[in-house]
Amino acid sequence: MSVRTTTPPARPSAPRPAPVGRWARLRRSGSGIALLFVAPYLLLFLVFRIGPTIAGMLLSLGQYRINGELEWRGLDNFQRLLQDTLFWNALKVTCVYTAIAVPLTVAVSLCMAQLCVRSIRGIAVYRVLYFLPVVTSLVTTSVIWLWLYSSDGPLNWLFGKIGVGPVPWLSSGAMVLPSLSLLSVWTRFGYDMLILLAGLLAIPAEYAEAAVVDGASAWQRFWRITLPQLKPALFLVVVLEIIQSFQVFDVIYVMTAGGPERSSYSLVYMVYDEGFHYFDFGYASAAGVVLFAITLVVSLIQRWLFREES
């Protein structure tokens, strides 16, 4: 509670007696106060996130019934996963979706951030508009897009007018993941754009000016100055996007139910299906643990790729 004494504003910094002892050492290093700062968050996190997660993951080692029975089965569930074509398919779908959705979303966000960074008339209005999809719930978005994508929906109607299609947006195994990725771009670019925009604005204008003097083209300036300077923001966006794509669920749940022919049956969908649809919570948990491990590894690789030279 010693913190409280520092709260009153504008108190002149009177010299204090030199503190002594362990607490003082901690205080001088700032380590004690740091722990105090993170404590409330960590406590809640530990109890309400990590606790349930560990409990949920432990189920992967057994067979759990909703009436409370738990029978330990070692690694059986994981062995079963390895032989399950459903699982391998789900893994493939998740990876393909991520491989399409993440670069697409990041690229669009980056382009839009570049466009929005200019201060031209009306830019504020654009920025407000672009953010609207982020504000909507995924379920609502999915229902709207379901109609937009339907074989006689507005998109195909429009395409028909120019003599193309009908495009089997959600009805062909090859098209379904790209279509869902497009939706992901629509829903997420406003969010990512804003983070990138903030990053772009933080780049000192002198850098670009100096490069212009040196005769660098716009493209060169983008590669040599903007991109490296944008690294932290870009890292943030890519990490969040990848996690998001690995966790893709709502959209699939509402729009395709994993179809057609399981071509959009993602790993998280499998976790849901095995758990709350088939009541096989142990197996669902095993699939979830694998997904967690994969996401973690990918994120660590990213962290290494984007590591800061300091």
Partner 1 sequence: MGEMEVSRRALLRVFGGGAVAAMGVAAAGCGSDSGQTVPANPDDVSGKVTMWIYPIDATHEKDWWPAQIEAFRKQYTKVDVTVTVQPWADRDTKLTTAIAGDTGPDVVYLIPDQLPQYAQSGSLADVSDVIASDKSDFRPNALDAMTYNDTLYGVPILMGGTGTLINKKVMAAAGITQTPASWDDMLAIAPALKAKGYYLTEYEADPAQTLNLTFYPLLWEAGGEVLSPDGKSAAFNSPAGVATLSYLKQLVDGGYVPTQPLTKTPPTESDPVAHGKVAVVTEFGVSDLFTMPGVNLADWEVVAPLKKTVAVGYGVVGGLSVLEGAQNKVAAKAWVKWLASPDQLKAFDKDRKYFSPRVSVGALFAGDPLTGAAEKFTDDTKSGEINPKARQVMDLIKPEIQATLLGHKSVTAALDSAAKSVNDLLARG
Partner 2 sequence: MTGASVARPRRRRRRLWVHAPLALVAVVTIFPFFVMAVLSLQKGRALSLPGSLFPTHINFGAYRDAFASGDMPRWLVNTAIYSVTSVVLVLLLASIAAYAFAKKRFYGRTVLFWGCLAMLMVPYHLTLIPQFILVRNLGLLNTLPGLIVPTLANAQALFLMRQFIRAIPDELIEAARIDGAGELRVLMRIVLPQCKPIIATLGVFVFLWHWNDFLWPLVAMQSPDHYTLTVGLASLQAQQTSLAVTMAAAVITFLPILVIYLALQRYFVRGVTMTGLK
Instruction: Based on the shown chain and the rule CB under 8 A, indicate whether residue 278 belongs to the binding site for partner 2.
Output: no
Q: Which of 19, 23, 25, 31 binds partner 2 (CB under 8 A)?
A: 31
When the beta carbons of 82 and 123 are compared against partner 2, the nearer one is 123
Q: Name which of partner 2, partner 1, none residue 9 binds, using a CB cut-off of 5 to 8 Å depending on partner kind.
A: partner 2
235: its two tokens: 């890292």
Query: What mask, x for binding partner 1 by CB under 8 A, covers residues 82 to 121?
Result: ----------------------------------------
Contact (CB, 8 A) for 306 and 234? yes
Q: Give exposure, 143-182, as e/b (b: 16+ Cβ within 10 Å).
A: eebbebbbeeeebbeeeeeeeeeebbbbbeeebbbbbbbb
Instruction: Based on the shown chain and the rule CB under 8 A, indicate whether residue 8 belongs to the binding site for partner 1.
Output: no
Backbone angles phi, psi at 245, to 5 degrees: -70, -40
Instruction: Based on the shown chain and the rule CB under 8 A, indicate whether residue 172 belongs to the binding site for partner 1.
Output: yes
The least CB distance from residue 220 to partner 2, in Å, is 20
DSSP reduced 3-state for 75:
coil
Would you tell me how many other CB atoms lie within 10 Å of the CB of residue 58? 15
When the beta carbons of 147 and 223 are compared against partner 1, the nearer one is 147
Contacting range for partner 1; rule: CB under 8 A; set: 8-16, 25-33, 128-136, 252-260: 252-260
DSSP reduced 3-state for 252:
helix
Backbone angles phi, psi at 70, to 5 degrees: -135, 120
Contacting range for partner 1; rule: CB under 8 A; set: 109-117, 148-156, 180-188, 233-241: 148-156
Q: Name which of partner 1, partner 2, none residue 168 binds, using a CB cut-off of 5 to 8 Å depending on partner kind.
A: partner 1
